[in-house]
Amino acid sequence: MTNTNPYYAVIFTSTHSENTEGYSDMANQMETLAKQQKGFLGIESARNAIGITVSYWESLKAIKNWKQETDHLVAQQKGREDWYRWYKVRICKVEREYEFFKS
């Protein structure tokens, strides 16, 4: 993912409830759908006891549009009702980035 700074990161941190039936399928569907949204730049995710998914966006408007996308609204409701014990969303402006890679 190569971006022109600044851009935005949505950090979604969560813990699951006991019921995760259907979660993986929905997560895959949401990732596919997010990639089709105007302003989407990329996504990174990891899950152990705590899950962290960071999605990257060109603008706050793109983030707002994604939050209001119909299928995403359905997934959010299902998450609150069944899959999550707790979650937190943080929206951050990325001013700069750097990385290290060893081959």
Residue 99 in domain: no
Tally of domains in the chain: 1
Residue 75: which domain range?
Answer: 7-94
What CATH number corresponds to the domain at position 16? 3.30.70.100
CA-CA distance, 7 to 13, in Å (whole number)? 20
Residue 101 in domain: no
CA-CA distance, 82 to 5, in Å (whole number)? 37
The pTM assigned to this predicted structure is: 0.90
- Residue 22 tokens, joined: 């259907």
Residue 67 in domain: yes
Residue 63 in domain: yes
- pLDDT (tens digit, 9 = 90+) per residue, 38-67? 999 999 999 999 999 999 999 999 999 999
- pLDDT (tens digit, 9 = 90+) per residue, 6-46? 999 999 999 999 999 999 999 999 999 999 999 999 999 99
Integer CA distances (angstroms), 93 to 25, 50, 73, in order? 30, 23, 23
CA-CA distance, 103 to 101, in Å (whole number)? 6
